[in-house]
Copies of this chain bind each other. A is one copy, B any other.
Amino acid sequence: MSDFTDSKQQWENTLFSSIVEMARAADGDFAVLGQLAAASGDPESLQIVIDRLSQQPQGKKAFASYFSLGAIDLEELHRLPTETLGYLYAEHMLSNQLKPLQADLATNDHQFFAAHITETHDVWHVLTGSTTDILGEIQLEAFYVAQLEASRFWLALLTKNLMKSVVYDIDVATDYMEVMTNGWLMGRKAEPLFGINWSTLWTKHLEEIRVSLNIDIAL
């Protein structure tokens, strides 16, 4: 067996194990999530995702600028009118006791991709009307698979959730399939969200943003 074949098989084994370990872990276990992110974040598939996102002007512009949302003051956003993205994002963060995730400044495409996905994750929760429980997470995972196309990480998360249902709780299968379908259809129908600078949109009404991006949460 060549070294190349050997290391490819090792990588496949690691990825299989990461998915199973994630399925064995409790929902929200961030240590195993990190392992899965590492195992599923191979440069080749990441490059395919980046290339596809860059085919749209918005994605191309984002990769040309490596912008960041900047520091976010939740208290300040929470003083905006209650229909605004800023207020609703702050409300989502504060009521779930979450802090804005800030990534280091990016110096290459892969870093920017990871940083942007990380810092916009909770904005996507709000935009898609996805709750922070497991049903909301599954809906949002399917939305990511639709929007990012060839993303090993997000499809791995969907896979582990179906696997959890198979092994531990088959009674949730229908609910899981339902929200996965909703997230997928919503993500296919919506305009691309990747590359939008949400910090310029805090004062806009959430519903208007949804309409302009074709995000149909009633699916």
Contacts and interface: CB of A to CB of B under 8 A. Distances in A.
Secondary structure call for the A interface: helix
Contacts of A84: none
B177 A152 contact: no
Contacts of A168: 12
Nearest to A164: B159
Nearest to A42: B170
Given A45-B170, A155-B170, A170-B150, A16 B23 contact: yes
A19 B152 contact: no
A165 B153 CA distance: 11
Query: Taking the full assembly, how many copies of this chain does it contain?
Result: 2
Interface string A153-164: 001101100110
A125 to B, nearest CB: 20
A218 to B, nearest CB: 16
A87 interface: no
A-B residue pairs, 10 tightest by C-beta: A159-B162, A150-B170, A156-B166, A159-B163, A155-B166, A45-B170, A15-B167, A152-B170, A155-B173, A16-B20
